Amino acid sequence: MDGKDLLHAYRQLWVNRSLTVEKNEIETLFIAIEKDLKDEMTHPRLRKSFNEKFHLAIKRIVSSLLSDNQKVKLIDCHIVVLEKLKKNNEGER
């Protein structure tokens, strides 16, 4: 499964989001996941934590009609982004 397939699978989860490919599909996917986990689409006072957003994203992926392979790959991508965000967040303290 390549970046184009993963981005297509992610788009199936978020039908109303426009995801314009800037450089490549994988980078676009990781940027979209990061925005989601940071809860950037929500007012700052109402934002949820990385862990809460991760949990909600995983629930959405698992309950979707995507293939098991697509689900596993998207969950892997979410884990990579979550670990990066947590590492960056620790460095800011």
Contact by Cβ (8 Å): 31, 52: no
Q: What is the model's pLDDT at position 33?
A: 96
DSSP state of 64: S
* Number of domains into which the chain is organized: 1
Total Cβ atoms within 10 A of residue 32: 18
Range of the domain at 25: 3-91
Query: What are 18-71's pLDDT values in tens digits?
Result: 788 878 999 999 999 999 999 999 999 999 999 999 999 999 999 999 999 999
Task: Assign 86 a pLDDT band (cuts: 50, 70, 90).
Answer: very high
Q: What is the model's pLDDT at position 90?
A: 80
Q: Residue 11 pLDDT > 80, yes or no?
A: yes
Cα angle: 89, vertex 90, 93; to 5 degrees: 95
Contact by Cβ (8 Å): 34, 58: no
Provide the sign of the torsion angle of the four alpha carbons 57, 73, 24, 14, taken in this order.
negative
Report which residue type is found at 29: L
